[in-house]
Amino acid sequence: VLEQIQGINIYLIGMMGAGKSTVGQILANRLSYKFFDTDVLISQVAGQAIPEIFATQGEEEFRNLESQVLSSLCAYQHLVVATGGGVVIKRMNWSYLRHGIIVWLDVPTHCLYERLKGDTTRPLLQHPDPLTRLDNILETRRHLYQQADISIAINEDEKPSEIAEQIITKI
Ligand code: S3P
């Protein structure tokens, strides 16, 4: 089917720490697509790192910037886009995501926790109990992530390159 989807953007969605950026970069190389990470683009537009945006402008303004960046990517083809974990929250964002194929990287929260403990770059995890926080966030978002075109259930020992191959066989 790869020929049929020629050019269509691929959007990776899923929780913080799911590996969207790592897998996305590999996937983009494999398909000879360009890779973009919406968090990186948001930082560039705002001229601030993500925690600073949350601290000085608030989450709502961050979400507005996120929608803005996402909509601007619809003008392009041949992209693999790693989105921020919360991109699924805004209904409007789905019309941008539907511009391409949406792939959910479904990783259990205990794996996310192992990868993210001690992380200071995710404002939503600056919490006394990050594992419970991850569980709670996933439970509020799971029904949204499930709206993806393709879901990839990931276990601990899967390598990013193997995950990229799985995505290729499913699209
Ligand atoms: C967020 C995820 C982060 C970043 C921001 C909010 C979320 O992106 O956009 O901290 O709401 O889940 P990653 O999924 O790339 O960590």
Q: Ligand 1 centroid to 17 CA: how many Å? A: 9
> DSSP 3-state assignment of 158?
coil
| Identity of the amino acid at 93 | N
Q: Ligand 1 centroid to 109 CA: how many Å? A: 14
Q: Which pair of structure tokens corresponds to residue 86?
A: 């919360």
Model pLDDT for residues 56-65, shown as the tens digit of each residue? 999 999 999 9
Domain ranges (residues) in the chain: 10-170
Q: Is the pLDDT of residue 153 over 90?
A: yes
Model pLDDT for residues 21-49, shown as the tens digit of each residue? 999 999 999 999 999 999 999 999 999 99
Q: Is the pLDDT of residue 6 over 90?
A: no
Q: Ligand 1 centroid to 5 CA: how many Å? A: 28
- Cα(54)–Cα(48) distance, rounded to whole angstroms? 10
How many Cα atoms sit within 13 Å of 62 on the Cβ side?
24
> What fold, for 10-170?
Rossmann fold (3.40.50)
Q: Is the pLDDT of residue 15 over 80?
A: yes
Atom 10, ligand 1: residue with shortest CA distance: 122
Atom 16, ligand 1: residue with shortest CA distance: 16
> What's the predicted TM-score (pTM) here?
0.96
